[in-house]
Amino acid sequence: MTDLTDMRDLLRDAPTNWGKWGADDEVGALNYLTSAEVLRGVAAIRSGEVFTLQRMIGDPKGDPVWPGRTPAERTMVLDESSWDGEGAPSYPGGLHYADDKIDAYLQGSTQYDALGHVWYDGQIWNGYDARTTVGGLDKASVAPIAERGVVGRGILLDMARYRGKENLDKAETFTHEDLEACAAAQGVTIEAHDILVIRTNFLKLFFDQGPAFYEGFCEPGLTYSPELVRWFQEREIPNLVTDTIANEVTIDPDSGFALPLHCALMRNLGVALTEICDLEKLAASCAADGRYTFLYAAAPLKVNRASGSPVNPLAIR
Ligand code: UVW
């Protein structure tokens, strides 16, 4: 266990990609996803199967969210009953229609984090002042990610299957070396610019356990090490996609810090984070024919100044 109390100390010598794509960059490592990378992703398509990776908003079985956030609430505004009484809306020709709205955390479902979503030491991605987040993100909001879209070669790393488990357990950790070993066991190589899609199936426990799921909340996931951060930087990984709520072990077992990889990967390297995906159908299909790469395509909703935004990513095999 390290004896540090501040993220600044933990990440004092950690690498950054600040300035690499210019002083005004807001999409970070997604810059690696050039047209050539789109075509490399397209070249991974063999069978034409399409998988949508978003979890249902308003799932009757519940919506898993980060502690302190609440699931989206959908409210019916107009339905057939709205036309029952006096003062009902009236449209020429007898038109009736349904309308509804949601009150939702933008990070309360399958989502892209804006690069400015998390920070320490008064600076967000690319060195922008953290005060630019006040009242809305003036820099590195999710909108520039939504404008550009995210398309490239995805690679599924099925850590649950690799470890011979239905799902990873609370606080279970793995490293970049485990990702390499998982890929090797799957007969595939992680290449530069691959979009890493990691399956833990941990959220099965949310649906199995109900409220007890949140007792001693600590998700499984990658853990911080300087080697892991260098690996992400050298591999030029643009995007880390997982099926957990926050993409990394919640409390790092070594430092005791919450979410240090959000800081080291997203704030410092500009790696985009995509969370709360449902990878079950995709994983079953990959396991069935032993193909673990695909075209990955995603575009979060364009929400001005937002710190994150819902998304329904596609994996096309
Ligand atoms: C936090 O950063 C707190 O949560 P997430 O990245 O899961 O949105």
Q: What would the pLDDT profile of 154-192 be if each residue is shown by its tens digit?
A: 999 999 999 999 999 999 999 999 999 999 999 999 999
**Assigned fold of 14-55+107-316:** Glucose Oxidase; domain 1 (3.50.30)
DSSP H helices in the chain: 7-10, 35-42, 143-148, 159-162, 176-186, 204-209, 226-235, 260-261, 280-289
Instruction: Look at residue 37 and give its three-state secondary structure.
Output: helix
> What is the structure's pLDDT at 210?
93
Q: Whose CA is nearest to atom 8 of ligand 1?
A: 107
> What is the structure's pLDDT at 103?
97
Q: Could you give the CA distance from residue 239 to residue 193 in angstroms, rounded to a whole number? A: 9
Percent of the chain at pLDDT exceeding 90:
97
Give the distance (Å) from ligand 1 centre to CA of residue 30.
19
Q: What average pLDDT does the segment 14-38 reach?
A: 98
Q: Could you give the CA distance from residue 170 to residue 44 in angstroms, rounded to a whole number? A: 33
> What is the structure's pLDDT at 181?
98
Q: Are 280 and 54 in contact (CB under 8 A)?
A: no
306 within ligand 1 shell (Cβ under 6 A): no
Q: Tokens in use for 123?
A: 């600076």
Q: What average pLDDT does the segment 273-277 reach?
A: 98
Q: Which of 106, 112, 245 to mutate to test the pocket of ligand 1 (most atoms within 8 A of CB)?
A: 245
Measured CA distances, 145 to 31, 36, 64 (Å):
10, 19, 24
Q: How many CA atoms lie within 13 A of 236 on its CB side?
A: 12
Confidence of residue 256 (pLDDT cuts 50, 70, 90): very high
Over its C-alpha atoms, the chain yields an Rg (Å, rounded) of 21
Confidence of residue 2 (pLDDT cuts 50, 70, 90): confident
Q: Is the pLDDT of residue 3 over 80?
A: no
> What is the structure's pLDDT at 87?
87
275 within ligand 1 shell (Cβ under 6 A): yes
Q: Whose CA is nearest to atom 7 of ligand 1?
A: 246
Q: What average pLDDT does the segment 53-77 reach?
A: 96
> What is the structure's pLDDT at 188?
98
Sequence ranges of the domains in the chain: 14-55+107-316, 73-103
Q: Whose CA is nearest to atom 1 of ligand 1?
A: 246
